[in-house]
Chains A and B, each alone.
Chain A
Amino acid sequence: MNGKIVGMLTARFATAVLTLLFVAIVVFAITSLLPGDVAQQILGQSATPEAVAGLRTKLGLDRPPSERFLLWLAGLAQGNFGRSLVNDLPVSQLIAGRLGNSLMLAAITSCVSVPVALLLGIGTAMRPGSWLDRIVGIGVVFVVSVPEFLIATLAVLAFAVKLRWLPALAQAPQFHDIGGLLRSFAMPIITLSCVIVAQMTRMTRAAVMDALEAPYVEMARLKGAGPIRIVLMHALPNAVGPIANAIALSLSYLLGGVIIVETIFNYPGIAKLMVDGVSTRDLPVVQACALIFCAGYLLLVMLADAAAILSSPRLRHQ
Chain B
Amino acid sequence: MNAANDTAVAASIPTRRRLPRLGFAGWIGAALVLFWLGMALFGSFLAPHGVGEILDADAFEPMSRQYPLGTDYLSRDILSRILAGTRQTVGIALVATFLAALGGSVLGLAAAVVGGWFDAGLSRFLDALVSIPSKMFGLLLVAAFGSSLPALTLTLAVIYLPGCYRIIRAVSVNVATLDFVLVARARGEGTFYIVRHEVLPNIVGPMLTDFGLRFVYVLLLLSSLSFLGLGVQPPDADWGSLVRENISGLAYGAPAVLMPALAIASLSIGVNLLFDGLFGSRLQRKGGA
Q: Does A82 contact B (CB under 8 A)?
A: no
B250 close to chain A: CB less than 8 A: yes
* Interchain pairs with CB closer than 8 A, number: 133
- Please encode chain A, from 251 to 277, with 1 for each CB lying within 8 Å of some chain B CB and 0 for all others: 010011001100110000000001101
Cα distance, A149 to B250, chains bound together (Å):
12
B8 within 8 A of partner (CB): no
Contact B133 A256 (CB under 8 A): yes
Say which residue of B135, B229, B269 sits within 8 Å of A141 (CB atoms): B269
Q: Nearest-CB distance from A129 to chain B (Å)? A: 16
Interface string of A4-42 (1 = CB under 8 A from B): 000000000000000100110011001101110000000
- A294 at interface by CB-CB < 8 Å: yes
Q: How far is the CA of A148 from the CA of B257 in the complex (A)?
A: 14
Q: Contact between B140 and A170 (Cβ–Cβ < 8 Å)?
A: no
Chain A residues lying within 8 Å of B224, measured Cβ to Cβ, are 147-149, 259-260
B28 to chain A, nearest CB (A): 13
Complex CA gap A162/B252 in Å reads 10
Report yes or no: B262 in contact with A150, Cβ–Cβ below 8 A.
Answer: yes
List chain A residues, Cβ under 8 A from B140.
27, 30-31, 286, 290
Is the CB of B261 closer than 8 A to any CB of chain A? Answer: yes
**Chain A: interface secondary structure?**
helix
Q: Cα distance A293–B136 when bound, in Å?
A: 8
* Chain A neighbourhood of B145, CB < 8 A: 35
A278 contacts B by Cβ under 8 Å: yes
Q: Is A169 an interface residue (CB 8 A)?
A: yes
Instruction: Give complex CA distance A6, B133 in Å.
Output: 28
Mark interface residues in A141-152 (1 if CB within 8 Å of B CB, else 0).
110011111100
Which residues on A sit within 8 Å (CB–CB) of B261? 146-147, 149-150, 153
> How many Å lie between the Cα of A288 and that of B227 in the bound state?
23
- Tell me whether A259 and B250 are in contact (CB under 8 A): no
Interface members, chain A 274-297 (any B CB < 8 Å): 274-275, 277-279, 281, 283, 286, 290, 293-294, 297
Given contact pairs A147-B268, A170-B251, A298-B131, a sample of 20 additional A-B residue pairs in the complex whose CB atoms are under 8 Å apart: A26-B128, A30-B140, A31-B140, A31-B144, A145-B216, A147-B265, A149-B224, A149-B240, A150-B265, A157-B253, A160-B251, A170-B248, A255-B133, A255-B136, A260-B228, A263-B227, A264-B247, A279-B230, A297-B132, A301-B131
